[in-house]
Every structure is written in structure tokens, then in C-alpha cells.
Amino acid sequence: MLILHDYELSSEAYAARLMLGFLGLAHESRPVDVYPGAANEAPAFRRLSPLGRVPVLEDGGLALWDWQAILIHLAATYDESRRWLPQDPARAGAIAQWMAVGRELEDSSGLARRHLAMFVDADLPLAQERAHRLMRQMDEHLWFQEQAGQDWLVDGPHPTLADLAPFPAVMLSEEGGVDRRDYPAIRRWSERFRRTPGFVTMSGVFPAAPLG
């Protein structure tokens, strides 16, 4: 049985829950009281996650404490279709690049959100400015993808980890004071992503309108 050490309001944990949802994987969820309890800093939890990070995925003898490592592990192990992490050389680099943007968004937009909601130390204007720089680039890329008939950050008929990784931070950006009004292509992309079968919501992330 997969065990997810989870925190409801964590955007990184949400990324793991999304992957579990898309792959239809049953799992046991063990809540960690990150805020205000700081249970992720407790010695017992640190034995599982040395840097005190949430989420943690336990799969048999394996315990992974980095959210993107969890995504890659789940996709590589359980996605027989290989849709979420395609192996072809043409796309591998592009996927890694947008996953890196996803991590940078967690460190900017996500940080701004944690600062405002959970009083984590941050230079708020700097974090917000960095988020806008990333989202401007992402919006431009997605607009030209649309022009080329492509729905996703990396070419192909199905979303990949390139889309999943930045999605939580993008969707929760407004809680960090990062408005998405200037990014209409991102808003359309997020709606397409939310229509993917198996999609799960979280507090602050709403489902998309059905097409029919």
C-alpha cells in the first residue's frame, strides 16, 4: 500500500495527490500538521524526511521526500501508458525544463503564498516579481503552443509532468498576491488540465466547467 504523508494546504503535496488521482492509485493518507503544529520538524518525522519536507511517499521499502521525485517515481512505476513521463529523447529535456519551472514557481509564487498564509520568512515583492517573470514566459509559450495546435507545455496529445509540476503553484498564485489576469493562455491551459480524467481539487482549486 502506498502511504502519502500529506498536508492538505501544501501545494507540493497537492502535486502528489494529483498524480495519484490521475493514475487511479489507492493510497493511505497520513496527515502531517505542518502549520501551525510544525509536526514536519519533529524528530520522528525527520527520520522519514531529513529536511522536514512534506509530502513524503512510502512505497514498500522506499521513502521519497522530494515532491518531484515522488511524481517521477509514480509515473515511472505505475503509468503503463507512459503518457505522464514519455521516454522519447525529443521531449525528455523539455519536460525536465518545465518541471524546473514548476520548482521555481514553488520557490517564488508558492513562497509568497506561504509567507502570507503561514508566516514563512520571505522577501514578498521579490518572490512575487520572480513569479511574474516565470508566468510571463509560460503564458507566451502556451500562447504559441495554442497557435501550433498544441494544448500542453510539451508537444503531444496528453499532459505530462511538464504540466503537472507547475500546475499547483500557478493555481494557488493568487493566495500569494500573484494575479493571473495578464496570463490568459495560462488560464486556458489550467482549464484544459482540470478537465483531465482523474483530476482532483484542493482548497482554492476549483473544477472546470464540463464541455457538454
Partner 1 sequence: MQQDLRALWFPVASSGDLPLRHVYQGQLLGLEFAVWRADDGAVNVWENRCLHRGVRLSIGLNLGSELKCQYHGWRYANGDASCLYIPAHPANAPARTIRNRVYRSVERYGLIWSAIEPLAEPPVIPELETAEPLALRPMPVAAPASRVVEALRSYAARLGAEAVEPAAEVPPAGAFALRASWRRDGEVEAAAFFVQPTAARACVIRGLLLGDVAEAERVATLKAHNAALTALREEAEAADAREPDAAAAVEEAKIPLSPRVTTVAGGERAASGEAIRVRVARKWRVAADVVALRLEPISGALPPPAPGAHVDLHLPNGLVRQYSLTNGPAERDAYVVAVKREPQSRGGSAAVHDAVREGDLLAVSPPHDNFRLARGGGRHVLLAGGIGVTPLLAMAKALAATGRSFELHLFARSEEHAPFADDLGGLGASVQMHTGLDPTATGDCISAILADRADDAYVYVCGPAPMIEAAVARAEQAGWPDSAVHFEHFGNAKAVDDSTAFEVALARSAITVAIPAGRTITDVLREHGVSVPTSCEQGACGTCITTVLEGKPDHQDVFLSKAERASDACMTPCISRSLTPRLVLDL
Q: Which residues bind partner 1 (CB under 8 A)?
A: 140, 143-144, 146-148, 180-182, 184, 187-188, 191, 206-211
Between 52 and 204, name the residue whose CB sits nearer to partner 1. 204
Between 30 and 195, name the residue whose CB sits nearer to partner 1. 195
Smallest distance, Å, CB 109 to partner 1?
17
Between 28 and 140, name the residue whose CB sits nearer to partner 1. 140
Smallest distance, Å, CB 188 to partner 1?
6
Contact yes or no for 109/173 (Cβ under 8 A): yes
Smallest distance, Å, CB 134 to partner 1?
15
Smallest distance, Å, CB 150 to partner 1?
11
Could you tell me which of 25, 26, 34 has the C-alpha nearest to residue 5? 34
Could you tell me which of 178, 137, 210, 169 has the C-alpha nearest to residue 11? 169
Cα distances (angstroms) measured from residue 149 to each of 74, 97, 185:
29, 21, 13
Order the strands of the 27-31 sheet from edge to edge: 27-31, 2-6, 56-59, 62-64
Please tell me the total number of residues recorded for the chain in this structure: 212
Between 39 and 202, name the residue whose CB sits nearer to partner 1. 202
